[in-house]
């Protein structure tokens, strides 16, 4: 078991979507409810505000990110803030917003949506690929979207179910079978949140409410644990840093009472820890 330390003490109401940009060598992450994209450079912290909730990103090139918001997928230029809509995302459903998402090995992008009040069955998991945005699954709180390094399968979770699913993919990255249970965490009372897969094929899963990220092997056995002291609501991990040897973890302070926040004062901070394994570069989004 490893204890992470604070990488950035900026308090996010709902930190999410950490992304290590492999060409820039820079970590980005979101405060969904704060409608803000965060980062750090050698000069210090940076923040960019948006007019609606933003939650996840992929990298297009050195200067642009694909960002998921509550109404669209859009290309966003870092230097100027210029925005180009790639596809509407439930733009006609103001009761939902985007949540967890990640680029896939084919240059596509998977993104989940959910009700702003986490209404049962109000969300979906979508895949954007070569100009098409296709609805894949109905969910309540989509999380844990990540991909096997050999391109054989994707993972996702509907957090209230307490389970992480695995679905086989075809040669173009579309689901080729019904999802099957990969992890069933109900007996432990754990809530699966964001996830990423490392170079060894371990699935690193943020466990909301438990103050940790756990790494699971292909048989669903827990192999490593990284704790986030003072922050129980872990949301998503990402590998970055030199050699992709650092595990970054976002957290949240959403819905914490003053008493709970006093007991967990680092809630909403972004953490980092030396990882026992190495990560993989995030896939590029191909427009």
Q: How many domains does the chain have?
A: 1
| Cα-Cα end-to-end distance for the chain | 40
pLDDT value of residue 41: 85
Q: What is the CATH number of the domain that holds 116?
A: 2.120.10.30
pLDDT value of residue 22: 97
* 193 classed as catalytic: yes
78 inside domain: yes
Tens of pLDDT, residue by residue over 32-52, are 999 999 998 888 899 999 999
167 inside domain: yes
pLDDT value of residue 175: 98
pLDDT value of residue 1: 87
How many angstroms separate the CA atoms of 104 and 269, rounded?
27
Average pLDDT per run of 10 along the chain, which is 287 residues long? Answer: 96 98 98 97 92 98 98 98 98 98 98 98 98 98 98 98 98 98 98 98 98 97 98 98 98 97 98 98 98
111 inside domain: yes
pLDDT value of residue 104: 98
143 inside domain: yes
287 inside domain: no
Beta strands in 33-131 (DSSP E): 36-41, 44-49, 54-59, 64-69, 72-77, 83-88, 96-103, 109-115, 123-129
- What residue numbers bound the domain in which 17 lies? 2-274
285 inside domain: no
pLDDT value of residue 43: 86
Single out the catalytic residue among 170, 193, 198, 217.
193
245 inside domain: yes
284 inside domain: no
């Amino acid at each position: 078991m490893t204890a992470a330390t604070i990488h950035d003490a900026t308090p996010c109401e709902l930190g999410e979507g950490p992304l290590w940009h492999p060409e820039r060598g820079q970590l980005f992450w979101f405060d969904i409810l704060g409608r803000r994209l965060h980062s750090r450079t050698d000069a210090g912290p940076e923040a960019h505000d948006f007019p609606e909730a933003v939650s996840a990103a992929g990298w297009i090139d050195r200067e642009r990110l694909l960002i998921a918001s509550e109404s669209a997928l859009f290309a966003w230029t870092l230097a100027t803030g210029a925005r180009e809509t790639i596809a509407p995302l439930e733009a006609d459903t103001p009761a939902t917003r985007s949540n967890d998402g990640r680029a896939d090995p084919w240059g596509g992008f998977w993104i989940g949506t959910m009700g702003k009040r986490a209404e049962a069955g109000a969300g979906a998991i979508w895949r954007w690929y070569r100009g098409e945005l296709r609805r894949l699954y109905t969910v309540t709180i989509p999380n844990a979207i990540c991909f096997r390094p050999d391109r054989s399968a994707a993972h996702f979770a509907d957090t209230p179910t307490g389970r992480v699913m695995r679905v086989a993919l075809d040669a173009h990255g579309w689901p080729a079978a019904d999802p099957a249970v990969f992890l069933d965490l109900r007996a432990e009372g754990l809530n699966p949140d964001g996830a990423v897969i490392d170079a060894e094929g371990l699935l690193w899963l943020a466990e909301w409410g438990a103050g940790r990220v756990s790494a699971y092997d292909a048989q669903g056995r827990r192999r490593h644990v990284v704790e986030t002291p003072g922050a129980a609501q872990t949301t998503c991990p990402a590998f970055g840093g030199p050699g992709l040897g650092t595990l970054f973890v976002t957290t949240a302070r959403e819905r914490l009472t003053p008493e709970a926040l006093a007991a967990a004062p680092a809630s909403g901070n972004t953490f980092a820890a030396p990882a026992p394994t190495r990560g993989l570069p995030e896939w590029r989004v191909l427009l």
